[in-house]
Amino acid sequence: MTAERWAQFRADTPALEQYAYLNTGFTGPMSRTVVRAMQDRMDFEVAQGPTTKAVMEAGRDIRERLGERFGQMLGVGWDEVAITSSTTIGVSIGVNGLDLQPGDRLLTTGVEHVGGAVPLYRAREQHGADVEFVAVSPDDSHGVIAERFAAAIDDRTRIVVLSEISYSTGQLLPVEPIVEAAHRVGAIVVIDGAQTGGHIPIDVRASGVDVYAIPAQKWLCGPRGIGAVYVSPEALPRINPLIVDGSYAEEWDLSGGFQPKQDVAGKYQTSAVSPTLAAGAIAAIEQYLESGPQAVWDRARDLNRIAEQRFERIDGVTVASPRNDQSRTGLFCFAAQGLPAADLAAWLQEQHQVVCRAVRERDVVRLSLHVFNTEDDIERTALGVEQALREGI
């Protein structure tokens, strides 16, 4: 049944007819099912008009259903989730929505994405907080990483930001012990879930995280420009919204009366949620949930093992992602001797129709291995790398 599901997913995704598409961790290819959901919504709006009763009521229903679906993914109710435009917006809510003081410490990893690092830098510039980095490498065990964070967290620590899966190393990080260490000193933990949503099973309550942000366009293979953020009930009173509109008002008038929303995730959501994007995101989430989060996670790691076994046999190639199953994910990284990663990634697409990316900070090529990918995709990439090493690019 699982193999049939992956084949069905692959057959429904047009980009896979031409390419070995191995760049879902950047932006996933949309299936016909996702595109059809957006087209149907747009056709309805065009035919009826954007502000007719039927269209507006349907739009409200779509937004509510999207909140429910994101809640299912995260293991919470729809009212504990706010719709955003991106993962970075969700991270920024967690970081810049907190009242900070000069000398407060903000921690993250040395393998963080710009979407996690830049909100911290802005907080440093605006509030005088200190930004510090905890060293992480692909070979580190979860125990070692947890110990480093425990040693780094002190009474001045206010926020810990980390990607549960690092985009640059491809490793799964140990969230729960880091959350425990942070909470002992009253700090909050903000998770950049750009590489987790649609990739791994997520239970935000079990992990204890305070803020968890995910997008629709990566492993979910949904549209760009829409995502979600969860803020725990304990953190809600402490974290203010970044941008507000009428959705932030519980009550208001034009005589000075105003009552803001307080302890609800809706205070972080604005009214400008596109029903068309929401319809596509719903279809993408349902596509994922129907596949089974655990089955998706297992398949992605199986493909990683296959890639590791194949690429470690290539002279001149160094596997640069975790080799231990504790940290292994669907992201596989490698370096090819004498070949700059950016040049090699571009050459693979041009010469072999392999779509992947380079991670500039580490000068490695990264393959995102999703359930619709196959051993043939991995073999095509390996043969291309062997040719590049043999003949140059």
pLDDT at 64: 94
Q: Is 236 exposed, middle or buried (0-12, 13-18, 19+ CB in 10 A)?
A: middle
E strands in 216-330 = 227-231, 249-252, 258-260, 317-319
Residue whose entry in the numeric block shows the structure tokens 């596997």:
319
In contact, 224 and 27? CB cutoff 8 Å? yes
Residue 373 Cα distances to 165, 170, 304, angstroms? 20, 17, 11
DSSP string, 142-162: HHHHHHHHHHH--TTEEEEEE
What residue type is assigned to position 138 of the chain? P
- Pairing type for strands 258-260 and 81-84 reads unpaired
Q: Per residue in 7-64, pLDDT tens?
A: 999 999 999 999 999 999 999 999 999 999 999 999 999 999 999 999 999 999 999 9
C-alpha 269/C-alpha 243 separation (Å) is 8
CATH number for the segment(s) 40-289: 3.40.640.10
Reading the block at residue 254, the tokens are: 């034009």
Average pLDDT over residues 178-194: 98
Residue whose entry in the numeric block shows the structure tokens 């190639």:
317
Nearest residue to 88 via CA among 215, 244, 188: 215
pLDDT at 1: 57
In contact, 164 and 347? CB cutoff 8 Å? no
Q: Per residue in 124-155, pLDDT tens?
A: 999 999 999 999 999 999 999 999 999 999 99
CATH number for the segment(s) 2-30+292-391: 3.90.1150.10
With a CB cutoff of 8 Å and minimum separation 6, the contacts of 4 are none
Residues paired with 165 in a beta bridge: 172
In contact, 10 and 357? CB cutoff 8 Å? no
Average pLDDT over residues 269-276: 92
Q: Is 3 exposed, middle or buried (0-12, 13-18, 19+ CB in 10 A)?
A: exposed
E strands in 262-362 = 317-319, 331-336, 354-355, 357-359
Q: What percent of the chain has pLDDT over 90?
A: 96
C-alpha 174/C-alpha 142 separation (Å) is 6
Going from N- to C-terminal start, the domains of the chain cover 2-30+292-391, 40-289
pLDDT band at 2, cuts 50/70/90?
confident
pLDDT at 311: 98
What residue type is assigned to position 41 of the chain? R
Question: What's the CA dihedral at 51, 56, 59, 63 to 10 degrees?
Answer: 120
In contact, 306 and 319? CB cutoff 8 Å? no
What residue type is assigned to position 352 of the chain? H
**Which of 25-29, 215-219, 250-254, 373-377 is predicted with the least confidence, judged by mean pLDDT?**
250-254
Q: What percent of the chain has pLDDT over 70?
A: 100
In contact, 222 and 283? CB cutoff 8 Å? yes
C-alpha 124/C-alpha 104 separation (Å) is 9
Terminal Cα distance for the chain, rounded: 41
- Pairing type for strands 105-109 and 211-215 reads unpaired
Q: Per residue in 200-224, pLDDT tens?
A: 999 999 999 999 999 999 999 999 9
Three-class SS state of 163: strand
With a CB cutoff of 8 Å and minimum separation 6, the contacts of 224 are 27, 216, 217
pLDDT at 262: 85
E strands in the chain = 20-21, 81-84, 105-109, 130-134, 157-163, 188-192, 211-215, 227-231, 249-252, 258-260, 317-319, 331-336, 354-355, 357-359, 364-368
